[in-house]
Structure 1
Amino acid sequence: MEQMYHVPVLLKESVDGMNIRPDSTCVDVTFGGGGHSREILSRLNNKGHLYAFDQDEDAIDNIQNDSRFTFIRGNFRFLKNFIKYHDVDGVDAILADLGVSSHHFDDEGRGFSFRFEDSDLDMRMNQNGRKTAAYILNNYTEEQLADIFYLYGELKQSRRIASAIVKTRKEKSYKKISDLLTTFAPLIPRGEKEKKMLAQAFQALRIEVNEEMEALREMLEQALEILKPGGRLSVITYHSLEDRMVKNFFKTGNFEGKIEKDFYGNFETPFRLINNKVIIPSKDEENINPRSRSAKLRIVEKI
């Protein structure tokens, strides 16, 4: 199932960075195909334990039957609540692989890829969620749409796109991916740039549908709370928005990247950087797994 779901990115580097002891209590907040979780379990003895999160129903098929493993069907933004529910006082290591798996991009029924024109505009990671991409396109104001495409897709022509969407939906509601592609056709150039801009637009909608930036912010704050002193946080990012948030938080303990000092002028931070330079995949891994090409790994230790 792992191969069908997705190939784990930076597998050895990210799990090595967790500094796992055989009796560690670990958390994988992005279970997915279970590749990282299997590697973590391989390093634990019968006193160690792994808690794994995923809100996607498809991930349930990848659960391993292991007494050292607990699967939590939920969004990682509720990390602290679920860990407390399981009577865990603190954890030794947390792993987050923030990317969307190839499984989701290749599933025609989920609406994550513009390759499948007849698919519904869905994009929900949690299939029980109420907000879909179609809902956003049909109900958000022109200003809200422009903000989404600009902030989450980094599209310079976000206002033109938003205006075209609002004008189009007056005649016909958005339901299928083909509906959105028709709107985009006169607004973006053909060729390779077209694919890049469509990817940016779909990324923006996906982030909004799943509230990804808000969830990431909440998860990182809670990770700091539940990590034991000396505990490790290993995070793989894939786009500049989430990487900037992780980078700032790791360096300063806040999301603005604001450097704070104590009374004596000493730099205050809750973390020690394990890798001062971001870790990226090798060329061999990029060739084998194209999904890894934009991946960046950052690792910190709680002071």
Structure 2
Amino acid sequence: MERAALAGHLPVLYAQVLDGLRVVGDGTYLDGTFGRGGHARGVLEQLGPEGRLLVMDKDPEAIAVAEREFGADPRVSIFRGSFAQLAQWDATAAGLDGVLFDLGVSSPQLDVAERGFSFGKDGPLDMRMDPERGESAAEWLARASEKEIADVLWTFGEERQSRRIARAIVARRADTPLVRTAQLADLIASVVPRGEQKIHPATRSFQAIRMYINRELGDLEDGLDAALARLKPGGRLAVISFHSLEDRIVKQFIARHAKAPAGNRRMPVEAAFVPTLRDVSGAVKADEVELAANPRARSAVLRVAEKLPGAADPLVRSADRESRATAFPGGAA
């Protein structure tokens, strides 16, 4: 595929995603994280007149791009919302031949200071992928307890200085509200020793707050279940993740459905394990050519799985995760 044809946007692991999805001309494919449509364009180019492309995104700006560029194509349907809701979209009810999730924050979101995702660009401390719904990062930091902030920084960012940072945030907000990204980034840098680490001291904290505000890990778990429920036998699931928390969830999800759990001779023998997924690719990473053109691809990991016959509906387990999320209302636990 020619990347130059993708309207100036360079999607990560473009060729590997399209190879993994194994697009057929009359198939139905869902891009759950449209962004600016790089991967979606590639899928659409391979579809015939009977094929269908379903696109989703939380971000209203991404949806506006999708409607402007693809809205007139009768093969394309567009839905604003999280991919966690994909099984609730009537357009998926007939089954899907492929599902793509490209996780995390997109380059356009990072590049616009007003979205509040980047500690390198001063802007409102927002961080919502859908800025019209839910609580902003500034609003949450203004009310959350010191313990809750520390727990979020540790759980979602694996930030070792989480308690020190949370203590500093609570102390600072008593005098001055934290409403700008530069305020928060400077505060974190002032209390976290940089040492020999190459990344900015605020990197993990910004990641953690963003993931919590947008319920990213909870949505990922729900979205994986929904994708498995809607995929047809032989359909492919492709997921690109950018850090270990996401990739671990995806890897364990595929393994749980592809491999029998380890036996325990002290426990009664249960029903024979029936795999519902086949691990197609393992962990796929960008090659040196792509890395030279797109450094953001350095941390990207693609995993592809294929649905096998006999899969049970995994959505019945979604209620089990609701209780795990109560420790962080509005976020994933």
In structure 1, the residue corresponding to 2:165 is in which secondary structure? Answer: helix
2:243 counterpart (224, 232, 239):
239
Q: Is the 8 A contact 1:213 1:242 kept in 2?
A: yes
Extract unaligned runs of 5+ from structure 2.
309-333
Q: 1:183–1:44: structure 2 CA closer, same or farther, 3 Å change rule?
A: same
- Once the two structures are superposed, residues 56-90 of structure 1 have per-residue CA deviations (whole angstroms, 9 ceiling, x without a partner) of 111112432311111111111110001xx237321
1:274 matched to 2:280? The reply is: yes
Structure 1 residue 259 and structure 2 residue 266: aligned? no
1:19 aligns with 2:40: no
Q: Which of 103, 107, 125 does residue 108 from structure 2 map onto?
A: 103
Q: What is the DSSP-based 3-state SS (H/G/I as helix, E as strand, rest coil) of the residue aligned with 2:55?
A: strand
Give the TM-score taking structure 1 as reference length.
0.91
Report if aligned partners of 1:28, 1:96 keep a CA contact under 8 Å in 2: yes
Q: C-alpha offsets along residues 199-222 of structure 1, whole Å, 9 cap, x if unaligned?
A: 111101110111111111110011
Query: Is the counterpart of residue 288 in structure 1 residue 293 in structure 2?
Result: yes
Q: Deviations over 1:5-47 (max 9, x none)?
A: x421111111111122111011110111111111101111111
Residue 145 (structure 2) aligned to one of 141, 145, 159: 141
Question: What is the aligned partner in structure 1 of residue 38 from structure 2?
Answer: 35
1:76 matched residue in structure 2: 83
- 8 Å CA contact 1:23, 1:45 repeated in 2: yes
Tell me which residue corresponds to 1:170: 174
Name the amino acid aligned to 2:97.
D
SS at match of 1:235: strand
Shift of 1:302: 0.8
3-state SS of 2:54 partner = strand
Q: 2:224 aligns with which of 204, 220, 229?
A: 220
The match for 1:200 is 204
Structure 1: how far apart are the matches of 2:269 and 2:74? 49
Structure 2 counterpart of 1:10, one-letter code: L
Question: Shift in Å at residue 268 of structure 1?
Answer: 4.3
User: In 2 relative to 1, CA 111–233 (structure 1 residues): closer, same or farther, beyond 3 Å?
Assistant: same
CA distance in 2, matches of 1:87, 1:114: 37
Asked if the contact 1:252–1:270 (Cα under 8 Å) also holds between the matched residues in 2, the reply is no
Q: How far apart, CA to CA, are the structure 2 residues paired with 1:87 and 1:100? A: 25
Q: Which residue among 47, 50, 55 is the counterpart of 2:50? A: 47
Judging changes above 3 Å, is the alpha-carbon distance between structure 1 residues 15 and 151 closer, same or farther for their aligned structure 2 residues?
Answer: same
Does structure 2 retain, via aligned residues, the 8 Å contact 1:153–1:201?
Answer: yes
Q: Which moved more, 1:284-293 or 1:193-202?
A: 193-202
Checking the alignment, whether the CA contact within 8 Å between 1:259 and 1:268 is kept in structure 2 is no
Distance (Å, rounded) in 2 between the aligned partners of 1:271 and 1:295: 22
Q: Take 2:209 and 2:11, find their aligned partners in 1: how far apart are those partners? A: 24
Shift in alpha-carbon separation, 1:136–1:253, aligned structure 2, 3 A: farther
TM superposition score normalised by structure 2: 0.83
SS at match of 1:247: helix
